Amino acid sequence: MTTITLPDGLPIENSKLIQVFDYQSTQEISKQEIILNQNTFSFLLDGTKEVFFDNSTLSIENSEFLIMKSGHCLMTEKLSEVKNYRSLLLFFSNKTLLNFIHKNNLAAKKSSEYKSVYSFKYDNFIRSFVKNLEDISKLSDPVKNKLLQLKLEEILVYLIEIYGTDFLFSLTINSDNTTQKFTQTIESNKLNKLTLKELAFLCNMSVSTFKREFEKHYAESPIKWFQNKRLEHANYLLHKELKTPSEMYFEVGYESLSSFIQAYKSKYGITPKQHQNN
């Protein structure tokens, strides 16, 4: 599966600071490697979407929409009951975002926890906004460009009023600290069933570089480290949530119950069932 760059990979003019694209598909994708060259609203209309970023993972249905920071992510798209996937995408540059922040005299809160992706629920205002955006996407370029500037400011002002500015300043955070981004990616995805290739992509590294960096930071191989974390999580599920081995083995990354039991016994010296009964 090839990596897709957005919005560059779409049939639209890519030099614009703000642009809209009505994306529709009848093909499902699983953990597609995506490079976002611009920050992006994804107004989901049909189907479901799951995204993996360096420090956060979200899954939404068409009662929600996302705002995503530019950068690397993995994206899964599943079709609706009518076998369709549709998302209205609104792309906007960091320059546009910084101009908006300056124009409105906004200041970041130092204690905020920043993420690369946020989800919000639709309400009547948002649904009306999306309908307007659909209509605007069909207009001539000169008119479309003027209206998109106004619409972007409209949705940002509205979301700030309801949710505050954390999501906004998350989009402006500089990700040049490679070490911090690397450890964030590992820690936030330790229970997600991602391959080394997918993790390396989120870190913008080759697989070989990823393995070297991992062993430098964690003093053991990625495979062994992730296995230990998943088995520790399995131990938690056994004792705190009282799940049975057959209920959890796939959740903690094993394809069969027998392979899970074998790995668990190798780490803890007894089987999951024996451990639970102790």
Mean pLDDT computed over 157-179: 88
CB-based contacts of 91, cutoff 8 Å, min separation 6: 6, 7, 18, 19, 20, 21, 38, 39, 40
Mean pLDDT computed over 167-179: 82
- What pLDDT is recorded for position 176? 62
How many CB atoms neighbour CB 196 within 10 A?
16
- What pLDDT is recorded for position 79? 97
Tokens 């993790």, residue located: 199
Q: HSE on the CB side for 274, CA within 13 Å?
A: 8
Assigned superfamily of 178-277:
Homeodomain-like (1.10.10.60)
Question: Does position 7 have pLDDT exceeding 90, yes or no?
Answer: yes
CATH 2.60.120.810 in the chain is located at 4-170
Q: Please give the Cα distance from 121 to 40 (Å, whole number).
A: 16
Among the four given CATH numbers 3.10.20.30, 2.60.120.810, 3.30.460.10, 3.30.420.40, the one describing domain 4-170: 2.60.120.810
Q: Enter the DSSP assignment of 216.
A: H
- What pLDDT is recorded for position 71? 93
Lowest-confidence range among 17-21, 109-113, 164-168, 192-196?
109-113
Q: Please give the Cα distance from 189 to 148 (Å, whole number).
A: 35
Amino acid identity at 264: Y
Mean residue pLDDT of the chain comes to 92
- What pLDDT is recorded for position 29? 96
pLDDT in tens, 47-60: 999 999 998 999 99
Question: Does position 175 have pLDDT exceeding 80, yes or no?
Answer: no
Helix boundaries (H) for the chain: 94-103, 124-136, 141-163, 166-170, 178-188, 196-202, 207-218, 222-239, 245-248, 257-268, 272-277
pLDDT in tens, 140-152: 989 999 999 999 9
Structure tokens at 264: 């668990």
| pTM for the full predicted model | 0.89
Question: Does position 258 have pLDDT exceeding 70, yes or no?
Answer: yes
Q: Please give the Cα distance from 65 to 47 (Å, whole number).
A: 12
- What pLDDT is recorded for position 111? 58
Extended strands (E) in 16-149: 18-25, 29-36, 39-46, 48-52, 57-60, 64-68, 71-78, 85-92, 117-121
Amino acid identity at 17: L
CATH 1.10.10.60 in the chain is located at 178-277
Lowest-confidence range among 28-32, 104-108, 118-122, 129-133?
104-108
CA 116-38-62 angle, to 5 degrees, is 65
Q: 210 with 86: CB under 8 angstroms? A: no
Helix, strand, or coil here: 69?
A: coil
pLDDT in tens, 60-83: 999 999 999 999 999 999 999 999
Mean pLDDT computed over 164-186: 86
Mean pLDDT computed over 185-206: 93
- What pLDDT is recorded for position 193? 87
Residue 163: phi, psi to the nearest 5?
Answer: -110, -5
Residue 42: phi, psi to the nearest 5?
Answer: -120, 100
Lowest-confidence range among 55-69, 101-115, 184-198, 239-253?
101-115
